[in-house]
A = this chain, B = another copy of it.
Amino acid sequence: MVIILKSDPDKNKVDNLRLWLEERGITAHETVGISKTIFGLVGDTGSIDIDALRALDIVEDVKRIQEPYKLANRKFHPDDTIIKIGDALIGGGNFTLIAGPCSVESEEQICAIAERVKASGAVLLRGGAFKPRTSPYSFQGLQEEGIRLLKKAREVSGLPIVSEITDSAQLPLFEDVDVIQVGARNMQNYELLRRLGKIDKPILLKRGLSATYEELIMSAEYIMSGGNQKVILCERGIRTFETYTRNTLDISAVPVLKKLTHLPVIADPSHATGSAELVIPVSKAAAAAGADGLIIEVHNDPANALCDGAQSIRCEDFEMLAGKLKTIAQCAK
Contact = CB atoms under 8 A, between A and B. Distances in A.
B52 A43 contact: no
A256 interface: yes
Contacts of A239: 210, 241
Contacts of A106: none
Contacts of A191: 166-167, 169
A281 B276 CA distance: 24
Given A38-B40, A281-B288, A284-B289, A188 B185 contact: yes
Interface string A273-302: 110111001101111111000000000000
Nearest to A280: B255
A51 interface: yes
Interface in A51-90: 51-56, 60-61, 63, 65-66, 68-69, 75
A55 B2 contact: no
Contact of A251 (B53, B75, B137, B285): B285
Number of copies of chain A assembled together:
4
Interface string A305-333: 11111111000000000001001100110
A288 B287 contact: yes
A112 interface: no
A306 B213 contact: no
26 contacts: A2-B63, A2-B65, A34-B44, A36-B65, A38-B40, A38-B65, A47-B137, A51-B274, A51-B309, A52-B309, A53-B306, A55-B309, A63-B63, A167-B191, A238-B242, A241-B241, A243-B243, A245-B256, A249-B252, A251-B285, A255-B277, A259-B277, A281-B288, A285-B285, A285-B289, A331-B331
Given A31-B40, A55-B312, 11 more contacts: A2-B63, A7-B75, A32-B42, A55-B306, A55-B308, A63-B63, A185-B190, A238-B240, A284-B289, A327-B327, A331-B331
